[in-house]
Structure 1
Amino acid sequence: MTPGLTYVVAGGCGFLGARIVDMLAERAENISEIRVVDKNLRSRLSTADREGVKVSLIRGDVTDMAQMTEVCGGADVVIHTASLIDFLGLVSDATLWHINVKGTENLLQCCVNEDIPSFVYTSTIEAVGPNRRGDPLVDGDESTPYDSSSPLLPYGRTKAAAEAMVLQWNGRRTNGGKTLHTCSLRPGGVLKKRGSNLFTRPMRRACSTTVKVSRQYVGNVAWAHLLAAQTLVTSPKTAGGEAINISDDTPLKDDATLLAELCAPIGIRWNDNLVLPLWLLYVIANVLALIRFVVKPFYTFVPPLNSDVLTIQNTTFYFNYKKATRVLGYKPIFTWEESKQRTSDWLVKWKAREFS
């Protein structure tokens, strides 16, 4: 009997990575081992080893080439979800670049060195935009013209650079004579269930209700990763070298309206309008940025508001998943009603646990 494939999921204990691991264990075919790699291990795997499928937790850092070489030895597929996400300037640009770009390069090099032919990268729509001018994108696709030359945030710049590198490495020969095939998936904002992501950002209350943005349920994004990996294995030229937008049927709304709908069961409410006029919020953000610059030699001040995220939150920017359907056979497996119910149910449990 032919042995199944070995998958490496970098960032496999993170919010999306953990769901990808569960999805692989539950739904993937021809798989024998899942290596769950993360700097911060959490024994949170909800899926016990399926018959014939070994699930291993491995502590590892994508910036450590020696560690990643050991982790990737004998693997068949790498799914790279590990990245450092920063919207408020909590970490330096150099740190973001080291983890998000250099870490990605390390894993690609491991694929070449260790003869691994399939690499799926978790990018983000922020690698495309919104740009600094706040140009909108309405029902865009991967070929829609858009000026991405001025990304708003260092995070978006690092993801754009890493994605470009991933696609450039497609077609390289591995040391064992195979051909490396890579693809990049671009989800928008993934609906998160952790309280810190939903409630503690002042930016959530700084978005206009006229804006439409794309948000997706994590289960659907994980499903797209599974399909991408399987496509690279069975039909590598179909997806190899492709950047693919991932969305689902979550209603197109501004963040505050969407979160208000999700959080109604636990009594969280948002006002229908901006707390302050948008122009005044920009003034406040710029003043805070000036204060940060002035005190930087003496004190690390991280403003709760900045103009770049204001632009992101107040720019209509959404895309379709037609290419994902065409290339990967992707369709959301969780409807909006199912996604909403699952998220709300989790929030009820979270509130009971956190405030009991």
Structure 2
Amino acid sequence: MARNGDVVLITGGSGFLGQHLVKHLQENDDDVKEIRIVDLKPYRNNLKHAETKPIKSIVADICDTDAVGEAFDNVDVVFHCAAYINFQFPPNINELERVNVNGTKNVINLCIKHNVPRLIYTSSASVTLTSYLGLAPFAVIVNLTESKTKQVTSDNDILIPGYSVTKHRAEKIVLGANGTNLANGTGELLTTSIRPTVLYGEEDPYFFPTLAKFTKKTGGIIPKVLGAGGKHQMTYVGNVAWAHIRAKQTLKNSSKNIAGLPVFVTDDTPIEDTSRFCQRMSRRTDAFNIRPTSWSIPSLIGYWLAILLELIISTLNPIFGTKLNFQPRALAAYAGSLLQYSRLRAELHMDYEPIYNEERSLDDSVKWYSAWYKSYFNKDKQSKKAE
């Protein structure tokens, strides 16, 4: 442990990505002397990694300046991972705006007030999902760098409303704050934004668990309701955490490379539609069996059905409070999109390379997913028996 190393603060450090980021700071970053975590949940070492550096866990809301302010004292770098991740329909706009946008403004203001020189924001590649040719209900992104993706000028440009819109708005604020003078007048705030694709891996509470709960009701089948489906790039969470470490070092030693810029982060996970990816994971375990249907509903029909479903829910919601756990048109847009991002900026300017190859990423993930699957559905069976 470096005696004169960095004091690091992670917002959302108890969460999915945060857990892996803490692991890398503990095991693979000799330039850290203390780790602080701000989260709504107390931090627990769920990944069971070695702990050689002190960790301080602060249970608080990032929107509560009084509760989190002290955590920023004498901090050298902030990883802002905390976010409200929710894709329900109708979107919970107020909470998305409160946490993702206003919470981010709060983090920036605290960095300036407490003279924190570096801020790394966890964004999402979904902020670039815009309509192909401005007409199609899906996106086509093929080997594009950050500057080549379509520049978003309006919230309506983004195909996934709510979450992705507020993440884009927050990202603009973070990158716009780059170069802001710190309160003591002796330096500037340097910022960058990491844009990973959809994450998978240990401690995942979103991607696989959501699909698993759905397919448990369908006998393991994922209906292909939008044609043959698009192609999607997914990234192992451990590699994304490592990219954050590389961003930290780059802002410290070669800040001009990424300061004020977004950075796509991917790895060597094959690009395929989500249902096929889940099927490939299933073949590595006997814990679950997930597979797509051999048939499919044409994408245009599927998209119009999504519009119809949204109209029905929008009519019922004011009267009965009816909601869906997913956004029909957003799901249709993602499922039908072709998404392949170039990580050239990360490689050239952050010296980033995935440290987990495809086999290791899938093996570690499947091992955790299998244990989660057995544990979750065994508990579900036991609770039903108790009733």
Question: Could you say whether these structures have the same fold, taking a TM-score greater than 0.5 normalized by the shorter chain as the test?
Answer: yes
Q: What stretches of structure 1 move > 6 A for 4+ residues in a row? A: none
- Who is 2:276 aligned against? 257
Residues 274 and 313 of structure 1: is their aligned pair in 2 closer, same or farther, counting only changes over 3 Å? Answer: farther
Report the alpha carbon displacement of residue 234 of structure 1 after superposing the two structures with TM: 2.2
Q: 2:158 aligns with which of 151, 155, 165?
A: 151
Q: Which stretch has the larger CA shift, 331-340 or 297-306?
A: 297-306
The residue type paired with residue 226 of structure 1 is I
* 1:270 corresponding residue in structure 2: 291
Change (3 A) 1:146 1:281: same
Deviation track 1:294-344 (CA, whole Å, cap 9, x = no partner) reads 222222212356112211111112202111011110000011111111111
Equivalent residue, structure 2, for 1:21: 22
Compared with structure 1, are the counterparts of its residues 105 and 273 closer, same or farther at alpha carbon in structure 2 (3 Å cutoff)? farther
The answer as to whether partners of 1:207 and 1:274 remain within 8 angstroms in 2 is no
**TM-score where L is the length of structure 1:** 0.93
The correspondence of residues 173-252 of structure 1 with structure 2, limited to 5 A, is: 173-176=181-184, 177-192=186-201, 193-194=204-205, 195-201=208-214, 205=223, 206=225, 208-252=227-271
Which position in structure 2 is the counterpart of 1:323? 345
| CA contact 2:90–2:327 (8 Å) conserved in 1 | no
Matched residue SS, 1:333: coil
Does the 8 Å contact 1:209/1:273 carry over to 2?
no
Which residue is 2:143 aligned to?
A: 139
Shift of 1:349: 1.8
Mapped to 2, the partners of 1:49 and 1:216 lie a distance apart of 26
Q: Verify the 8 A CA contact 1:130 1:315 in the aligned structure 2.
A: no
Structure 1: gaps spanning 5 or more residues: none
Alpha carbons of structure 1 residues 221 and 269: separation in structure 2 relative to 1, 3 Å:
same
How many angstroms does 1:55 deviate by?
1.1
Which range is displaced more, 236-245 or 195-204? Answer: 195-204
Q: How far apart, in 2, do the equivalents of 1:341 and 1:271 lie? A: 21
In 1, the alpha carbon distance for the partners of 2:85 and 2:297 equals 27
The structure-2 alpha-carbon separation of the partners of 1:208 and 1:33, relative to structure 1 and needing over 3 Å to count, comes to: farther
Q: How does 1:66-215 map to 2 (within 5 A)?
A: 66-89=66-89, 91-131=91-131, 133=136, 134-146=138-150, 148-149=152-153, 150-152=157-159, 153-176=161-184, 177-192=186-201, 193-194=204-205, 195-201=208-214, 205=223, 206=225, 208-215=227-234
By how many angstroms is 1:351 displaced?
Answer: 2.8
Shift of 1:273: 4.2
Which of 352, 356, 359 pairs up with 1:334? 356
> Is 1:290 aligned with 2:311?
yes
- Preserved CA contact (<8 Å) 2:139 2:333: no
Residues 104-113 or 343-352, more deviating? 343-352
Q: Write the distance in 2 (CA, Å) between the matches of 1:343 and 1:110.
A: 36
1:47 to 46, 49, 56: 49
Q: Pick from 305, 311, 314 the counterpart of residue 333 of structure 2.
A: 311
How many Å separate the matches in 2 of 1:200 and 1:146? 35
Higher alpha-carbon deviation: 196-205 or 309-318: 196-205
**What corresponds to 1:64 in structure 2?**
64
SS state at 1:250 partner: coil
The AA in structure 2 aligned to 1:215 is M
Gaps in structure 2 of 5+ consecutive residues: 216-220, 379-387
Q: 1:281 aligns with which of 302, 315, 321?
A: 302
Separation of aligned partners in 2, 1:49 and 1:139? 38
Distance in 2, Cα, partners of 1:72 & 1:302: 38
CA pair 85-274 structure 1, distance change in 2 beyond 3 A? farther
Task: State the secondary structure of the residue aligned to 1:271.
Answer: strand
Distance 1:204 1:94, change over 3 A: farther
Q: Show CA shifts across 1:115-153 (max 9, x none).
A: 100000000011111437323111111121425341121
Q: Take 1:76 and 1:4, find their aligned partners in 2: how far apart are those partners?
A: 9
Q: Which moved further from structure 2: 113-122 or 204-213?
A: 204-213
Which amino acid is 1:175 matched to?
A
Partner of 2:17: helix, strand, or coil? helix
TM norm structure 2 = 0.86
Are the counterparts in 1 of residues 128 and 149 from structure 2 also a CA contact under 8 Å? no
Measured after TM superposition, the shift of residue 39 of structure 1 is 0.8
RMSD over aligned Cα, in angstroms?
A: 2.1
